[in-house]
Each structure stands twice: as C-alpha cells, then as structure tokens.
Amino acid sequence: MTVPGRPTPPAVRLLTALLIATSIATAAVEALNWWVTPGGGWALFVRTGWALLRSLGFLILIYHVRKGRRSAAPLGLILAVTTIFGVARLVVPRTGYPALPGIAGFALVTVLCLTVVVLLYRSATLQEHLVRPPNRITVTKQGIEWLPAKSTRPPIPGWLLTARVASFTYAPLMIVASVIALGNVFSGEVGALPLVIVWFIAALTMSNLMVLIAIFLLRGHRWARWALGLLTVAVLALHLALCWLLLDLDGLVRDGGPLAAAALLCLWGLWRAPAKPLQPA
C-alpha cells in the first residue's frame, strides 16, 4: 500500500500559527474584560462564556485548513466577523468608556481576524490548497494507494458555502440571547418567561430547518435558496424584535448586531452565488 506524503505549504503553516494566536488572543481579551469589568452581571457572564466557546471555532478552522476543505474560507469569514462583533460588545460597557486594556485587546483581535480573512481570500497558495480533494484509499494496478479522490459532483459555489455557514450561526446566537433574557426572569420579570420560551424553541426549530435546507441548497435546488432567504428575514425580524422587547436597546445592539451581520452575509452569499443551479447528485 502506497501512502505518499502531502507536503504542507508554508502559507498553510503561517495561517495555522495565526489562527492559534487569534484563538489565544481572543480568549485572553475576553477573560481580561471579565476581570476588569465591575458588576457585569448575568448578561456579561453568558456573553463571555459564549465568546470563550466560540474562540474554539478557530481550532475547528485549523482542521479544515489543514485538510484543504473548501469550507475553510467561509468558516473563517464568519468566525472573523462574529468574533469582532463579540469582542466589541464585551469591551464596550453599559455606561462610561471602555477600559484601555479592552481597547488594545479589541484592536489586536481585529487585526488578527482581518489578517486571517485576507490570507484565506487573497493568498493564491491557500486558495489552491483549499480546493484539493481529500485523499482516499484507491485500488489501482499498482496495488492499494492513498490518492486524491475523484468527485463526480460539480464544485459547490463558494458563496453558497458562505450562506450555509452563516445560517448555522443563527441558532446559537438566538439561544445565547434567550439565556441572557432568562436572567431578567430570575430578577423578577416573570411575565417575560413565555417570550423567552418562544425564543428558545424558535432557535432550536430554526437549527433543524437550516440543516435540512442546507442539504438541498448545496445540491443546487433553487427553492432552497428562496427558503433560506425567507427564513433568514424571518429569523432576523423575530430576533431583533425580541432583543428590543426583552433586552432593551443595549441588548438590541449587543445581541442583535452579530446575528444581523451573519444574516447579511447569508443573503449576500445567496445573491452572489451563480444563478444556474447545480445538477442534483
């Protein structure tokens, strides 16, 4: 059995190191902000916990980059955008001015995230690496070999991948906001509990719908594009309305902003993707 080694391009090693640094820097800034912010309360605790969990997404992105997956670029874009929004909403306090360490940390994370996006979308070496097919065990005349797999499917447009990845962020962002709103219920606003439950159930329902639609979206069905676009508008309207009702203007900006950014990326991806549908497999 022949197992040829696949050399790792220097650009991939550079991006891997950059992603590790971005993950560490993001987690450090979020932990530092939690430490220096007095009286953050339940909302800051939930947002910080989610931000720390989201920083692990860079480790998942490293796996996709190392494997040469085409989904690495859209995943990196979504991670960069949501990370910048996430750190910004943690650094800016409800009253007063942000602490100097928080501003410096936000600037560092922003530069790292933008650098990641530039490398993913502008590096010719990385773009060539990210379209390489994965290796599979193949039986040939020479024996059993470890060779690049041959796909019979047409390539999936990158903007469709971007729309799919963006749509997968809706449910987590809605769940985080609903858990923050649950803190108001614990504080005595019991009348808000039905809306919080509706919010949480809507997030779970949307998660399942997005997974189902994504299957048909990547197979080139036009109705899936329209369905994803309409659901995105519905999610955005519901989420922003509940943020306004349960979390006030501050929550509308902090918890509505990240989902609005993801929704715009999804709609932009659907609009930019080629109009001609792919042939179903």
User: Between residues 256 and 276, which one has the greater pLDDT?
Assistant: 256
* pLDDT tops 60 at residue 270: yes
**Residue 188 to residues 44, 178, 183: CA-CA distances in angstroms?**
19, 16, 9
| Number of alpha helices (DSSP H) and beta strands (DSSP E) in the chain | 10, 2
Q: What band does 154 get if pLDDT is binned at 50, 70 and 90?
A: low
Query: Is the confidence at residue 279, as pLDDT, over 60?
Result: no
CATH number of 1-151: 1.20.140
Q: What average pLDDT does the segment 200-227 reach?
A: 90
CA angle 51, 52, 57 (to 5 degrees): 85
Mapping DSSP to helix (H, G, I), strand (E, B) and coil, where does residue 146 land? strand
Q: Under DSSP, is residue 147 helix (H, G, I), strand (E, B) or coil?
A: strand
Q: What amino acid is encoded at 156 in this protein?
A: I
Which of 104-118, 145-159, 227-241, 260-274 shows the lowest per-residue confidence on average (mean pLDDT)?
145-159
- What average pLDDT does the segment 30-52 reach? 79
- Banded model confidence at residue 192, pLDDT cuts 50, 70, 90: confident
Question: DSSP assignment, residue 169?
Answer: T
Domain ranges of the chain: 1-151, 154-281
- From 85, 33, 39, 46, select the one nearest 247 (Cα to Cα): 46
Q: Which two tokens stand for residue 218?
A: 């990547």
What gap in Å lies between CA 279 and CA 281, rounded to an integer?
Answer: 6
Q: What is the pLDDT of residues 119-135, one digit of tens each?
A: 999 888 888 888 765 55
CB atoms within 10 A of CB 47: 23
| Element housing 247 (H / E) | helix 222-272
Helices 222-272 and 41-55: crossing angle in degrees, nearest 10, is 90
Does position 273 have pLDDT exceeding 70, yes or no?
Answer: yes
pLDDT at 93: 75
Show the tokens assigned to 151: 């796909």
